[in-house]
Amino acid sequence: MTFSPNTQILASSSGDCTIKLWSLSTGECFKTLEGHTNWIYSVTFSSDGQKLASGSDDRTIKLWDVGVNNYPKPKTLHGHTSWIGGVAFSPDNSVLVSGSGDGIVKLWDTRTGECLNTFHEETNQVLVNQVSVVFSPDGQVIVSSGLNLKFWNVKTGECFKKLTSRPYENMNITGVKGLTEAEKATLKALGAVEEGEM
C-alpha cells in the first residue's frame, strides 16, 4: 500500500491482480487498475503524484498515468526473470528502480520504459532476492535489501557497501571436522563457505 503525496488517495494491491485507488475523504474505491496477471507485491506513487508504479509476481512492472482522468493503458516493463518485490521512484521521478527475486536491481527510464542499467554482483554464490529498494534523497545511491542491505552507486552500478546480519559471512569451513551435513548447511545459510563455493 502507498499514499499519494497529497495523502488524498491510498493505492492498495493484492492477489487478485488489481490495484485499487481509494479516496481517503469518502472511504470509497473510485478506480480499479487492471493489467497484471499475478499477485502484485509493491506499489508506489511518484513524488508529484502523476505516476504509480507496480511490481508483480508476473515478472513485470507497470507504470500507470494516474494524474489524468482517463487512466490510459500502463507502460509494461519487462526484464526481470522472477517476481518484482520492490519499486521506487528517484527524487526527480525520471528513474524507477526495481528489485526482484532474480537477485537483480534494474533502473528504468520512466518516460520511455527503457531499462537504463542492471545491477548485480559478480559472484559464484547464488543471487539473493532483492526484495525492497529505495533511492537516497539526493538520488545518487540505491539501497536494496534481501538477506543483506546493498548500497549501489547509481552512476557506476557498483555495490560499494554491504550490511549483513549473517554472522558467518565468508567464513571458510573447508576441512572442518566434526560437523554433520545439517550443521554445515546451517552454517552456509548463515554465510559460511567451502572451497569451490568462494
DSSP string, 177-188: SS--HHHHHHHH
Secondary structure letter of residue 191 according to DSSP: T
Q: Under CATH, which number does the domain 2-165 receive? A: 2.130.10.10
**pLDDT at position 131:** 78
**pLDDT at position 121:** 66
pLDDT at 126 over 60: no
Q: Which of 66-75, 121-130, 148-157 has the lowest mean pLDDT?
A: 121-130
Q: Which of 117, 95, 124, 137 is nearest to 195 (CA)?
A: 124
User: What are the boundaries of each domain within the chain?
Assistant: 2-165, 166-198
Secondary structure letter of residue 127 according to DSSP: P
Work out the average pLDDT over 116-129. Answer: 69
Q: Which of 20-34, 74-88, 117-131, 156-170 has the lowest mean pLDDT?
A: 117-131
Q: Which of 118, 186, 175, 176 is nearest to 152 (CA)?
A: 118
Higher-confidence residue: 154 or 130? 154
> 42 - beta bridge partners?
55
Question: What does the alpha-carbon distance between residue 179 and residue 177 come to, in Å, rounded to a whole number?
Answer: 6
CA atoms within 13 A on the CB side of 96: 30
Q: Which of 35-49, 61-75, 155-169 has the lowest mean pLDDT?
A: 155-169
Higher-confidence residue: 101 or 64? 64
Q: Are 12 and 22 in contact (CB under 8 A)?
A: yes
pLDDT at 128 over 80: no
Residues 6+ apart with CB under 8 A from 25: 8
Q: Are 44 and 4 in contact (CB under 8 A)?
A: no
